[in-house]
Amino acid sequence: DAGVIQSPRHEVTEMGQEVTLRCKPISGHDYLFWYRQTMMRGLELLIYFNNNVPIDDSGMPEDRFSAKMPNASFSTLKIQPSEPRDSAVYFCASRGLNTGELFFGEGSRLTVL
Amino acid sequence: AQSVTQLDSHVSVSEGTPVLLRCNYSSSYSPSLFWYVQHPNKGLQLLLKYTSAATLVKGINGFEAEFKKSETSFHLTKPSAHMSDAAEYFCVVKGMDSNYQLIWGAGTKLIIKP
C-alpha cells in the first residue's frame, strides 16, 4: 500500500483565496483524521470521520473551515476565505477499526500571505 | 479523563550515548500508549505501541519503552543515539473508553551532538 497520500505538499496563497487540501487514506481504513500543526499550538485534531461520516468536528476553528469525505478513498479540507493565521502544516491520517495506530500522510504545508 | 505529559521539551545527547525521553500519563482506564516520531518536514510515524501485553515494548530503529503502571510512565529509551535519531517524539495515550480519542503530548525534540 502506498500509505496515506496528501496533496498538495506545499501551497502558497494570498489572503482571501480558497484553499483545498486533499487526502487519500489507506485502503480499508475506517477512520480518517485531519490535524493541523503549528509551532505555537502543536498538533491539533480538527475533525475525524468514521465510515465517511463526520463524527467530531469540534476542533474545526471556525466556519471558514469545512471537510468532506464523499467516499472511502477521498477527503478534502477546505478553507474559504483563507487568512494568514491559517498557515500551518495540515496532516491527514487514517486507521483501521479497533486499532489505535494512526498512519499519517506527509502533510500539506500551507502559507497564506 | 486521559492526559499525557512529556517532561522535557528538548533533550540533547551525544552520538553513541543513551537516549531517555520521558512520558507520564494519566488514565482512569488501562491505557493504550504510543510513541510517534516526526523527522523534519515529514509526517508522523509510529515507533512503538503498548496495548496491555508485554510491559517492555520494542519498536523500530532500536527504540524501546517500558510501561510502568505504578509510576504511570512510558519512557522511551535507546542504548546508543545515532545522528539520524534527531527528530521530534510524541507520546500518545488512547483511553479504552473511546474508539477515537487520542491524547497527544506536546513533543520532545531530540538533538544529537556529533
Report in angstroms the alpha-carbon separations of A7 from A74, A91, B74.
Answer: 11, 10, 34
CA-CA-CA-CA torsion sign (B103, B42, B8, B17): positive
pLDDT of residue B100: 62
pLDDT of residue A89: 96
pLDDT of residue B97: 54
Q: Which residues make Cβ contacts (< 8 Å) with residue B4, sequence separation at least 6?
A: B23, B24, B25, B26, B91, B92, B93, B103, B104, B105
**pLDDT exceeds 90 at position A77:** yes
Q: For residue A32, what is the nearest residue in chain B, using CA coordinates?
A: B100
B40/A contact by beta carbon, under 8 A: no
DSSP conformational letter for B42: S
Among candidate residues B102, B80, B101, the one with its CA nearest the CA of residue B91: B102
Residues of A in contact with B36 (CB under 8 A): 102
Q: What is the pLDDT along chain B (114 residues), one digit of tens a residue?
A: 778 999 999 999 999 999 999 999 987 777 889 999 999 888 899 999 998 778 899 999 999 999 999 999 999 999 999 999 999 999 998 865 555 678 889 999 999 999
pLDDT of residue B53: 76
pLDDT of residue B109: 96
Residue type, A50: N
pLDDT of residue B7: 94
pLDDT of residue B68: 93
pLDDT of residue A39: 87
Facing A105 at nearest CB: one of B43, B46, B100: B43
Residues of A in contact with B45 (CB under 8 A): 104
